[in-house]
Amino acid sequence: MSVRVLLVEHSEVGRAMHARALRGAGFEVEEARDFETAMSALERRPQVVVAAVAVPTMEGFPLLRLLKADPMQARIPVLILSGEGEAASRFWSAKSGAAARLDLEASAGELATEVARLATLSAPETNPASGAPSGDSHLLGRVAGVAARLDAALLQATLAAELLEAGMGTGDFHEACRAVLEVLGAVVDARFLGAAAGDAELVAAHVLLPEPLPPDLLAELGKRLFASLGLPAGVARDLGVSGERGGEPVDLDLAVWLELPLARGRGSLVLLPRDPGQFATSASSLVDGLVRPLGVVLENALLAERLRELSVLDGLTRLLNRRAIFERLSEELERARRYRLPLSVVLCDFDHFKRINDRFGHLVGDAVLREGSAVLRKSLRTTDLLGRYGGEEFLAVLPQVDLEAACQAAERLRRDIAVYPLAIATSPQQRITASFGVAALSELAGRTAADELVGIADRRLYQAKAAGRDRVRP
């Protein structure tokens, strides 16, 4: 007994081509060009439905959803045919219950093979007379139109809900961006997607790469993302990247990327469609409708980033505060013990700092702390950790550094501080010195706690001060 297939496709050319391929493979094919004729044909109980869909009109999806809502027809497998660039159709096919999806340009053999496979999944026919009753075709047409609009609105609402669920569930800006960009990537075929948000104090951006991009092009993307916000050049910038990295040089015309403002002018979404023409017809309206929820996610993520900073950063120097640097030191100690790696700490104290406060005032003293801590940060490796230990004292954590190398690093810090001219208004060439105490994990036995290691460095710091200051003591 041949397999009965209902082919639903609005395009005369496409329908004829697919019908010919199916009949050539031995299937019994009934054709329908629209919703009304398809509903009538369902009375004859096909074993497989093949439906071509189009986004954003949502043609084909109402039939799929009505099939799944009817208990007598819900077991009929539906094969969706959609264009290669219609990422939204792939997303909505899965959400609407399609059994499979093929590209509209799939070969006759691929189509026949997939239909034959789905026919084995079709439920046994129990009541051939069941199905949608025949009725007034004009009414069915109106129902189809309403159903299509409802499907379009439901797709938009589903995507918005997924964006909010994905992005609001984390307090990390980059994790939130990665999550929402992945949702967008499910409905947009793009070479890259990016999001940025910020204000005069902090700017953060994230890029999602579905395919590898070379480093120079990635750096250019970051620059353009930050520039899209129109903020001053001196604002701190934080760029995150997820997805594929590296790769060979590619020719991308960044001038044609799409940029949408978000978050009341304090954010932006950028993307480069793989096929701009396809994007304009199949996904642009979807993305436009997601601007508002995406803006909400970015504002929330930026606020969470600010709160996180308040909890771990020192307000004056923008370094890790005492609690945070101790937590990070404890983590590094555990890692060093687990993998048998060296680790050292350096405790720094600015010499005669009270004299600066007494002579120039506390505002100048604060400026000295900011500039001095910036010198320390620049003189350390990017993998080293630096925090404000308290007052004019700073603690550096040096992973995978033994005592000898840590003393060399501390000596470099001492020299850099000593030669740096501080920008103090009343004394522009004012200089300061600092004393340093160094301790290494290798000097202690057992499960050393963070405060024990810092305690040794603290005692050595006071030895350096007692010996005349402006020196390092291991």
pLDDT digits (tens, 9 = 90+) for 171-200: 788 888 889 999 888 888 888 898 888 877
Position 462 scores a pLDDT of 96
Angle at 44 between CA 41 and CA 48, to 5 degrees: 80
Residue 131: what pLDDT? 43
Beta-bridged to residue 349, according to DSSP, are 393, 435
Q: What would the pLDDT profile of 126-174 be if each residue is shown by its tens digit? A: 444 444 444 455 545 545 655 666 667 777 888 888 888 888 877 788 8
Contact 474, 438 (CB under 8 A): yes
Rounded CA-CA distance 430/420 in Å is 9
Q: Please tell me whether the overall predicted TM-score, pTM, comes out greater than 0.75 for this model.
A: no
According to CATH, the topology of domain 4-150 is: Rossmann fold (3.40.50)
Give the separation between CA 30 and CA 381, rounded to whole angstroms. Answer: 71
Contacts with 338 (C-beta within 8 Å, 6 or more apart), sequence order: none
Kindly write down the DSSP assignment for every residue of 310-353, as one continuous string.
HHHB-TTT-SB-HHHHHHHHHHHHHHHHHHT--EEEEEEEETTH
Closest by Cα among 128, 95, 114 to 50: 114
Q: Which residues contact 92 (CB under 8 A, 6 or more apart)?
A: 55, 58, 61, 151, 155
> 400-409: buried (b, 16+ CB within 10 Å) or exposed (e) per residue?
bbebeebbeb
CATH 2.40.160.20 fits 322-473, yes or no: no
- Residue 430: closest CA among 333, 376, 352: 352
Q: In the chain, which stretches have pLDDT less than 70?
A: 1, 54-63, 65-72, 84-86, 123-151, 201, 232-236, 244-250, 263-265, 423-429
CA distances for 54 relative to 18, 49, 270, 470, angstroms: 16, 16, 25, 74
Would strands 190-198 and 100-103 be described as parallel, antiparallel, or unpaired?
A: unpaired
**Can you read off the two tokens belonging to residue 407?**
């003393």
Q: Are 167 and 300 in contact (CB under 8 A)?
A: yes
The answer to whether 393 touches 311, Cβ cutoff 8 Å, is no
In angstroms, rounded to a whole number, what is the distance separating the alpha carbons of residues 467 and 246? 52
Burial of 168 (0-12, 13-18, 19+ CB in 10 A): middle
Hey, where are the domains in the chain?
4-150, 168-311, 322-473
**Residues 131 and 87 sit within 8 Å (Cβ to Cβ):** no
How far from the centroid of its chain's Cα atoms is residue 427's Cα? 47
